[in-house]
Chains A and B, each alone.
Chain A
Amino acid sequence: MRESTIMQIHYGTAIAAVALVAVHVLMRLTQGFADSLEYENVLANYKFIPYAIMLELILVLLSIHGFNGLRVILLELKQGRLYEKAVSYGCLAAMIGLIAYGSRTIIITNMGMV
């Protein structure tokens, strides 16, 4: 993938994530911070499909943005074909792993299998 395409994705995920994370944070504040973190309320959030979709989107967007940022920092620290391939694929694997792990939580909780 061309670096300009990767960076366009990096910027796009940043802008989209800002809006969604703001909603996520506001949910804690409007409900009352401590109350919003009660088990029943959190469960209700996960079971509400639009909110679950929003959480999934945040997970995907921030994983992409965060691990691409880490990839950029690591690529600048050291160079070499093998190292650069390892960093790129390692960050991709970490990204996919985190998305998979987080999605598992969202899907299982949303389906009421808790």
Chain B
Amino acid sequence: MAQISSIANEQTSTPASSSKSITLRISRYNPEYDSSSKFMEFTVSYQKWTTVLDTILEVKQYFDHSIAVRYSCRQASCGSCGMMINGKPRLACFTKITELNSNVITVEPMSNFPIIRDLAVKFERMFESHHKIKPYLIRDDSEIESDTKEFLQSPKEVEQYIQFANCIKCGLCNSACPTMATDSSFVGPQALAQAYRYVADSRDKGKDTRLKIIDESHGIWRCHFAGSCSQVCPKGVDPAMGIQLLRGYLLGFRS
């Protein structure tokens, strides 16, 4: 789809040799000692390719070793470094300083997730919701029993769900969702998108089981198609699409 995205749009063409600097404001909060969070500011230089994670790690290395931050792959594959960057949930390793177009970068822990310390948050609730929708193939037989020793799927059948299988469980969608902002019992866009991933999988026979699970007062019906989850998803999972397609089954538009 040919759409111009702001993600890759850079306003500066800084030559490799020169570097500018920005003010990095990091939210600091230790629930054991602090009653509320506070910000610490650091001046950090950056270049054309510097990501927010690079600046945080630079601060951690040279200024304050105690900053708690979760990260791993540095290439938007693991989903560890999700945080609020200038008010919007993003992956720190996937967000370049230049694309933020600001001299002040504010990083905070992801909203709608309990804080462990500083920028690290707890994922238990998201994992529980994910587990609730049975994120595995449900069927009575196993592939060992079939003649082909595998469940065959055509490329067209794979296309129906592969987009939703790209989910890296980063939690940005849950952070952006307006329902998650107030509803502690809502399953969340991540779990709902994964429910659709399995319902759309031709190998799966557990559609009715999953639909029954999400057909409750804090299930799929508390999604109002605000689309914020899809706006922030770094892997193109588009949870909003999955949720609306899933809803089609409950409304009788799809069988």
Instruction: Note whether A and B contact each other (Cβ less than 8 A).
Output: yes
Residues of A within 8 A of B (CB): 2-4, 6-8, 11, 72, 75-79, 84
Q: Using CB atoms, name the residue of chain B closest to A88.
A: B217
Verify if B30 is at the interface (C-beta below 8 Å from A): no
Given B179, B219, B250, which contacts A76 in the complex, CB threshold below 8 Å? B179
Closest to B211 in A: A4
- The interface residues of chain A lying within 8 Å CB-to-CB of B182 are 76-78
CB interface residues, B 219-249, toward A, < 8 Å: 219, 221-222
B189 to chain A, nearest CB (A): 14
- Could you say which residues of chain B place their CB within 8 Å of the CB of A11? 251
Report the minimal beta-carbon distance from A41 to chain B, rounded to whole angstroms: 40
Contact A3–B183 (Cβ < 8 Å): no
| B41 interface contact, C-beta 8 A | no
- 9 pairs of residues in contact across A and B, judged by CB atoms under 8 Å: A3-B221, A8-B251, A75-B183, A75-B218, A76-B182, A76-B183, A77-B182, A79-B218, A84-B217
Count A-B pairs with CB separation below 8 Å. Answer: 34
Nearest chain B CB to A39 CB, angstrom units: 42
- Determine which of A4, A76, A79 lies in contact with B215 in the assembled complex, contact meaning CB atoms within 8 Å: A4
Instruction: List residues of chain B with CB within 8 A of the CB of A84.
Output: 217
B142 contacts A by Cβ under 8 Å: no
For the complex formed, measure the closest distance between the CB of A33 and the CB atoms of chain B, giving whole angstroms.
Answer: 35
> Given A3-B215, A3-B217, A4-B251: A79 and B185 within 8 A (CB)?
yes
In angstroms, how far is the closest chain A Cβ from the Cβ of B216?
Answer: 6
B219 and A3 within 8 A (CB): yes
Asked whether B186 is an interface residue with its Cβ less than 8 Å from the other chain, the reply is: yes
For B222, give its contact among A6, A8, A76, A78 (CB under 8 Å).
A76
Alpha-carbon gap, A25 to B250, bound state (A)? 34
Residues of chain B with a CB closer than 8 A to A2's CB:
215
**In the bound complex, how far is the Cα of B218 from the Cα of A3, in angstroms?**
9
Chain B residues 54 to 91 lying within 8 A of chain A, measured CB to CB, are: none
A-chain residues with CB within 8 Å of residue B179 when the two chains form the complex: 76
In the assembly, what is the distance between CA of A6 and CA of B217, in Å?
10
A77 to B185, CA, bound (A): 10
Q: List B contacts of A3 (CB < 8 A).
A: 215-217, 219, 221
B251 in contact with A76 (CB, 8 Å) = no
Residue from the list A4, A6, A8, A79 in contact with B183, Cβ < 8 A: A79
A10 to chain B, nearest CB (A): 9
**Residues of chain A lying within 8 A (CB to CB) of residue B185:** 79
Which of B184, B186, B218, B221 sits near A4, CB closer than 8 Å?
A: B221
Q: Across the interface, do A79 and B184 meet the contact criterion of CB distance under 8 Å? A: yes
- Residues in B neighbouring A72, C-beta threshold 8 A: 221-222
Cβ-defined contact, A4 with B250, below 8 A:
yes
Cα of A84 to Cα of B217 in the assembled complex, Å: 10
**Docked CA distance A7–B222 (Å):** 10
